[in-house]
């Protein structure tokens, strides 16, 4: 992680126009967590009998490297932003909005969300085993009825994670991105609790 790059918060309020409109099945998720979704060596968690894929949709406060018209920077979603995203996503019934590799012309039929929750230890909703997600992160599962997608992309490992897409507000923040060591310390603290 380059600590010299600026960091922005992707802002999603409860009542603004910002939202996640679709989830893409991708080969390399921005959150760097494969299905087991935002570590490249972990295979996604799937149930081949039931054809279910599960993983992190968003990780709260995780710096995500971006390069676009603003230049190079890191973007983060706070737990509050993730919460608002999840709520708007379900309110607008976007659970069937799935595409391949963020291609707006490649929406996938026969793949749909069957569960979704925010990690919230105070409510007794903990990270699924093997994921070590922090509170405020969004986890979900999709049913894959589409034979071609299951056989050609899921089973082969061509798609390895989820990546959300949508429209977000942005505000520059002054804090430094969380380092890997800080993330490890945070995970160890969560495991102890």
- The predicted pLDDT at position 37 comes to 30
Residue bearing tokens 């230049």: 71
Cβ neighbors of 149 (< 8 A, separation 6 or more) are 25, 108, 110, 111, 159
- The predicted pLDDT at position 142 comes to 95
Residue bearing tokens 């085993």: 129
Which ranges of the chain have pLDDT less than 70? 1-2, 32-48, 175-183, 193
Beta-bridge mates of residue 71: 68
- The predicted pLDDT at position 42 comes to 37
- The predicted pLDDT at position 188 comes to 76
In whole angstroms, give the CA distance from residue 16 to residue 87: 12
Residue 61's region, left for phi above 0, alpha for psi from -120 to 50, else beta, is left
* CA distances (Å), origin 18, targets 35, 67, 113, 157, 166: 25, 20, 21, 32, 7
């Amino acid at each position: 992680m380059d600590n010299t790059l600026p960091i922005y918060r992707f802002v999603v309020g409860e009542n603004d126009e910002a939202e996640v409109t679709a989830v893409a099945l991708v080969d390399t998720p921005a959150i760097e967590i494969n299905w087991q979704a935002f570590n490249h060596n972990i295979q996604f968690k799937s149930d081949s009998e039931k054809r279910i894929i599960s993983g992190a949709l968003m990780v709260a406060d995780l710096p995500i490297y971006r390069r676009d018209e603003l230049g190079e920077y890191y973007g983060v979603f706070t737990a509050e932003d993730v919460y608002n995203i999840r709520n708007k996503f379900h309110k607008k019934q976007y659970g069937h909005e799935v595409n391949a590799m963020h291609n707006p012309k490649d929406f996938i039929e026969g793949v749909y969300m069957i569960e979704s929750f925010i990690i919230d230890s105070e409510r007794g909703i903990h990270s699924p085993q093997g994921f070590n997600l922090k509170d405020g992160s969004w986890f979900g599962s999709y049913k894959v009825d589409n034979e071609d997608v299951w056989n050609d992309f899921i089973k082969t490992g061509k798609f390895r994670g989820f990546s959300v897409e949508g429209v977000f507000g942005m505000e520059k923040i002054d804090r430094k991105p969380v380092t890997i060591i800080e993330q490890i310390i945070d995970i160890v603290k969560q495991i102890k609790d």
